[in-house]
Amino acid sequence: MKINSDISRRVAIQTYTLPWAASPLAGIQLRTLEGGTGVAARATAIVQCAPGSRMASCTDDLGDEIVVLDGVLTDEFGSYGKGVYIKNPPGSSHACESASGCMLFVKRHHLEMEGNQRIVVDTAAMPWYQGLVGGLSVMPLSEFGTRHTALVRWAPGTRFNPHRHYGGEEIYVLDGVFEDEFGRYPAGSWLRSPHLSAHCPFSIEGCTILVKTGHLLQDEAAALS
């Protein structure tokens, strides 16, 4: 089963309105936002891990990216609390568990063009940098070629310039309310805008968003399966 697999279409979802679906792993539930629902499928999802849940060691042939939204995730390399960003490169192996439970934003099996460096960023401890307009702050997380992943913080009343997305843009709203001419997106919203789409974003209340750009080129992005 494929969900939102046409990357040429704009998608906006308030993820908290989606029902939880059981995964093949005990204690783990999913809200799949795009891609397939199988364990080995390329996908983007919100993942809820019950206290004591475990994921056996497996090799990520096409890697994954994880943001800890709540709780603590643990693997053989360490423990990661709320706000930690993890990028596991293609071919890496890791086993995960959560003693107290956690909630994650996960993109899996989509890094076939990426490098082989594992990246872990504790966003609570990293500096913010001035963005392109006043009121905008940026925290870079990862980049490779045209692809960039970052946190972007909007002060209340911030407005950005109209712009076009080469390679598309994907946003997950972590807190506050993000807006553009197409709608209003509170915390928990997920947006995917295709290659060469355009908008004029702003935030009246202020917000923090996770942003990934440059990864939705039609000639590079395989069909989500």
| DSSP conformation class of 132 | S
Residue ranges of domains in the chain: 19-122, 129-213
pLDDT tens digits, one per residue of 20-52 = 999 888 899 999 999 875 555 678 999 999 999
Q: Which of 17-21, 55-59, 117-121, 148-152 has the lowest mean pLDDT?
A: 55-59
Contact 218, 196 (CB under 8 A): no
Q: Could you give the dihedral angle defined by the CA atoms of residues 44, 49, 54 and 59, in that order, rounded to the nearest 10 degrees? A: 10
Of residues 70 and 94, which shows the higher confidence score? Answer: 70
Fold assignment, 19-122: Jelly Rolls (2.60.120)
Q: What architecture is the 129-213 domain classified under in CATH?
A: Sandwich (2.60)
pLDDT at 59 over 90: no
Of residues 104, 107, 28, 27, the one with CA closest to residue 69: 104
**Phi, psi dihedral angles at 126 (to 5 degrees):** -100, 150
Mean pLDDT, to the nearest integer, of 135-161?
95
Contact 173, 209 (CB under 8 A): yes
Q: Which residues contact 52 (CB under 8 A, 6 or more apart)?
A: 27, 97, 98, 99, 101
Same CATH topology for 19-122 and 129-213: the answer is yes
- Supply the Cα-derived Rg of the chain in whole angstroms: 17
pLDDT at 170 over 70: yes
Q: What is the pLDDT of residue 58?
A: 66
Mean pLDDT, to the nearest integer, of 194-202?
96
- The CA angle 53-56-60, to the nearest 5 degrees, is 120
